Amino acid sequence: MKSIKTVALLLLSLSLLGLNGLTAAYAQKEVKISAWTADQLYVDYFKTRTDEFQKAHSDVKITWDFVVKPDAPAAVLQAIAAGETIPDMVGMERKQFSNYMKSDILEKNFVDLTDLIKDPSQYSSAKLAIYTYKGKLYALESQLAASVFYYQPKIYKDNGLEVPKTWEEMVADGDKLGPKGIAQDFVTDDGDIFHMMLHQRGGLVFDKDGKFVLGDATNRPLAVEVATLLQKGVKNGTFTPVLGGDVWNGATIPTLYRSGKLLGTVMPDWWSSCCLQPWLKAPPKALGTEQAPAEGAPTVWAVGVPPVWKAGGHKTLTWGGTGWAVSSQSPNAALAKEFLAFAYLGEESQAQKYVAINNFPWMLAAYKDPRVIGLADPFFGGQKIGEIYAQVADDVPTWYPSPFLAGFYKGAGDNLPGLFNGSITPDQFVDAVVKVTQDGIDFGN
């Protein structure tokens, strides 16, 4: 009897050891995916999709290590230069992606995502082109980033004006609104403001082969035309200049919105989520200003298609966008790539992302998904703004990347204030931008 008890105890001990071993082994399968981004909204969206993704991966426990900071893409570049470990996933703002094209950084550090797009015809070619390098796709775009016109309709109505259909009409309306201190849009010294208007007009800075073409016989006249309208619009009050970080962090734009002195803004979908709605829903003191809406000032906003160019071009214009890339150094690269495809591709995920964070889809089929075109936004009086985005979604200009794009942004950013204040002519502005960009190319900057 004693020997039987001894054997039983021994078997029990071995069994417990085995269970402990299994528990330890299971605990070791927790996978923490690190992700760096400049925008909290992407973190919010990833969290909404994690549980569903987890169900298909019962062998691991997926957790996240998110870092949100404005300079996230630049910080990753610095880490690469220093030979440090980079996060598993990186949200690259479209402008920053061009900096990753230098010194084969993409090829050496990031996963080729080309195989995720089974049928490129299902997606916006413009959004694939932005993140393509040497024929390979290195990031998946977050949104179409097609611009619309966010505006206060009462101001136009009270002044006997229709919502302008062209940029030229908008500037003509400025002759009436400007003297009253009412601007219809803002401009800034970020090169993107010029870049997006040029592309809408049909011009290019770099072509599909990466060649710098801004100064050639086709694109230079278009650039001068855009610069001329910008200068004229600032002069008559159509556009109000807001420079530097004041666009994103200052009280100028929220104050002008609230007072009715800035009746609208032509911007992509993300402007509504990041800026317009948060600014106008927040108490004035939270924005660092005591400015409250003046008595009788309009508080109702609407969304319409953006102005187009009278002489031709595209239906819309685009600024920004964030492409997500996966580090090839990461031990979790395969899982991160799979999650990115799950969360970003296909009609279901594109629609869910729009509902969650107002990122309009860049998959063609999702443009007409009832959840996209049927979603009513109470901020815009119940307007179904997806219907407006869908009207321009099939004609988004293509921005071709280049490792020398930073030179263009420096040239444009440095010279836009002079264009706005009239100290340089539109021709001089374009020539200065061309020179600075070409110098960067010649010297390999």
Position 290 scores a pLDDT of 52
Tens of pLDDT, residues 12-40? 444 444 444 444 444 448 999 999 999 99
- Please give the distance of CA 172 from its chain centroid, rounded to a whole number: 30
Reported in sequence order, the residue ranges of 214-304 that DSSP labels E, i.e. its strands, are: 239-241, 264-267, 302-304
Position 87 scores a pLDDT of 98
Q: Considering the chain, what is the average pLDDT of its residues?
A: 91
> Which CATH code of 3.40.190.10, 2.60.40.420, 3.30.1390.20, 3.40.50.300 fits the domain covering 148-317+403-442?
3.40.190.10
Residue 267 phi, psi dihedral angles, 5° rounding? -155, 165
Task: Answer whether 31-144+321-380 and 148-317+403-442 agree in fold.
Answer: yes
Distance CA 421, CA 417 (A): 6
Place of tokens 């302008």: 164
Walk along the chain (445 residues) in steps of 10 and give the mean pLDDT of each run. Answer: 45 44 52 96 96 94 96 96 97 93 96 97 95 96 97 96 98 98 98 97 96 98 98 98 94 93 96 92 63 52 98 96 96 97 97 94 94 94 94 94 95 98 98 98 88
> Which CATH code of 3.40.50.720, 3.40.30.10, 1.10.10.10, 3.40.190.10 fits the domain covering 31-144+321-380?
3.40.190.10
Q: What is the 3-state secondary structure (H, E, C) of 81-149?
A: HCCCCCCCEEEEEHHHHHHHHHHHHHHHHECCCHHHCCCHHHECHHHHHHCEECCEECCEECCCCECEE
Position 19 scores a pLDDT of 41
Position 444 scores a pLDDT of 83
What is the separation, in whole angstroms, between the first and last Cα of the chain? 86
SS3 category, 437: helix
Q: Write the CA distances from 17 to 7, 26, 141, 340, integer angstroms.
A: 15, 14, 49, 39
Q: What angle do CA 370, 373, 374 make, to 5 degrees?
A: 65
160: left (phi over 0), alpha (psi -120 to 50) or beta: left
Distance CA 29, CA 61 (A): 7
Distance CA 340, CA 350 (A): 12
Contacts of 92 (CB under 8 A, 6+ apart): 73, 100, 131, 139, 322, 323, 324, 325
Q: At what angle do helices 191-201 and 405-421 cross, to 10 degrees?
A: 100
Tens of pLDDT, residues 106-155? 999 999 999 999 999 999 999 999 999 999 999 999 999 999 999 999 99
For the chain, the structural domain boundaries read: 31-144+321-380, 148-317+403-442
Distance CA 315, CA 320 (A): 17
Q: How many residues does the chain have?
A: 445
